[in-house]
Amino acid sequence: MKTENWKRTHYTMEITPNMDGEEVVLTGWIKEIRDLGGIKFLILRDKEGTLQITVPKDEVDEHTLKHAESLQRQDCVSIRGVVKRMDKAPRGVEIIPKNMIILNMAKQPLPLDITGKTPADIDVRLDARVLDLTRDENRAVFQIRHAILEAIRDFLSKNGFIEIHTPKIIASATEGGANLFPVMYFEREAFLAQSPQLYKEQLVIDFEKVYEIGPTFRAEKSHTRRHLTEFISVDIEVAFATAEDVMEIAERLIQYICKMVVEKRRGDLKTLKYKVEVPEVPFKRLTYDEVVNELKDAGIKISWGEDIPTIAYRTLGRLHPYFYFIIDWPTSIKPFYIKPRDDKPEISEGFDLMWHWIEIASGGTRIHDKDLLIKRLREQNLNPESFRFHLQAFDYGMPPHAGWAIGLERLVMMLTGVRNIREAVLFPRDRFRLTP
Ligand code: ATP
């Protein structure tokens, strides 16, 4: 087989001053160009980092000079050159090119300033997202996202969970019809799954401890900085467990994720100028009643049984500026599958995990008794007939069980400091955005 003459021998970050004199081939994109008359500096970017390519105009051959002169930002190149120790260069080393191959020229002018010196509006950035992601700050978000996913899989796997994938095209609603996207499924109507809830619950009969990391779809009309119409949900479900058991898993997992990100992605956090503190466990547990009282003292009145509005969460976030659980929610405002307390059925065993004012996760003990589940479906004006396949699993020895769902993008916001959830997704989908 022919070896292409543009193939790299090293990544930029592998080049060190003690390689002085070695000939190397680097491939990547032109990030910046500085022309000082007799000398030209090119900053080459690859997936690992950047390196200075120095072109002393009277020392390189005519062909190389011609190429160097024609280069523009984001052109894709292969550069053969000699490593030179240079104290003044960014990493104490530079490359003097001997030959350059332009693999592809970028169309100028670019729609964005890829150095970030001229900030662009979020919509302009998202319209040219692939170009936007060439910026270090933006790629750092996804390196951290990757580290979060790695930490989640590692933690859950070590704790005896099996990774599952449940269908995303479904016949009926998980939690009622609101927020569902209908799709044409041949001659029938189907829906995009808004949660793996029912499937993961059923599967505890077979696997006991399951987790899924997968897309979920919500026809959210609200256009906020923390809602998407397609997001990744990290779900767990555990047999023979209660809310308290899975809250412990959640807090230990969050602690582990923070630890891994701090350890493994130090450079990316620095690029983002963001500090992550590894939290202590256990996290605070506030009851719904305590929250309502705290809010009352802060001048926000919430009648018992009402959901907590965003503005109240903002106040709560100021009072509890890190992680905390809210427990003992009124049963009436939790989904039908959340178990009411045996001693006080008006209070549920559901919980939310908060980070400042943002909800990161919600979960709880589930109902495992079929009759009670049917009663709760009816109370929430849902038709048990639409849940026939789910309900039949409760005839097969459904154990007591509990679980939660964490929104991956909200975790990414928490660990990168990005303030708009759209920055935590490569190609976000919201009420108005369906492209690119
Ligand atoms: P919120 O009250 O913030 O709208 P929710 O109560 O609808 O959230 P759940 O249905 O409990 O959320 O979903 C579990 C988790 O999934 C949430 O805690 C959150 O982290 C995430 N999540 C929910 N809806 C969205 C969304 N539209 N976009 C991104 N993440 C979401």
Name residue 43's beta-bridge partners.
32, 52
Q: Has residue 112 been placed in a domain?
A: no
Ligand 1 surroundings by CB, under 6 angstroms: 218, 220, 227-228, 231, 233, 359-362, 405-407, 409-410, 421
To the question of pTM greater than 0.85 for the whole model, the response is yes
Specify burial of residue 332 (Cβ count, 10 A radius: 0-12, 13-18, 19+): middle
Are 13 and 154 in a shared domain?
A: no
Q: How many domains does the chain have?
A: 2
Are 140 and 77 in a shared domain?
A: no
Are 58 and 137 in a shared domain?
A: no
Are 205 and 258 in a shared domain?
A: yes
Known catalytic residue: 218?
Answer: yes
Contact (Cβ atoms closer than 8 angstroms) between residue 97 and residue 64: yes
Residue with CA at minimum distance from ligand 1 atom 4 = 227
Are 334 and 376 in a shared domain?
A: yes
> Ligand 1, residues 359, 429, 433: which to mutate, most atoms within 8 A of Cβ?
359
DSSP SS3 for 312: helix
Residue 221 has pLDDT above 90, yes or no: no
Pairing of strands 401-407, 323-327: unpaired
What confidence score (pLDDT) does residue 319 get?
96
Q: Has residue 127 been placed in a domain?
A: no
Are 192 and 323 in a shared domain?
A: yes
Q: Has residue 125 been placed in a domain?
A: no
CA dist 10 and 24 (Å) reads: 7
Name residue 247's beta-bridge partners.
none
Count of all residues that appear for the chain in the document:
436
Are 182 and 74 in a shared domain?
A: no
- Domain range holding 360? 132-424
**Given the residues 8, 91, 129, 227, the one annotated as active site:** 227
**Given the residues 362, 366, 390, 401, the one annotated as active site:** 362
CA dist 105 and 323 (Å) reads: 48
Which domain CATH number covers 29? 2.40.50.140
Q: Has residue 73 been placed in a domain?
A: yes
Mean pLDDT of 80-93: 95
Q: Has residue 67 been placed in a domain?
A: yes
What confidence score (pLDDT) does residue 87 get?
94
What confidence score (pLDDT) does residue 175 get?
66
Cβ neighbours of 185 (radius 10 Å): 12
Nearest to 364 by CA among 328, 406, 337, 402: 402
Mean pLDDT of 361-382: 97
Mean pLDDT of 387-416: 97
Are 88 and 144 in a shared domain?
A: no
Are 65 and 136 in a shared domain?
A: no
* Rounded percentage of the chain residues whose pLDDT exceeds 90: 93
Tokens 């939690």: give the residue. 175
Boundary-marking domain end, from 58, 85, 104 = 104
Residue with CA at minimum distance from ligand 1 atom 25 = 227
Tens digits of residue pLDDT in 33-70: 999 989 999 999 999 999 999 999 999 999 999 999 99
What confidence score (pLDDT) does residue 115 get?
87
Residue with CA at minimum distance from ligand 1 atom 22 = 407
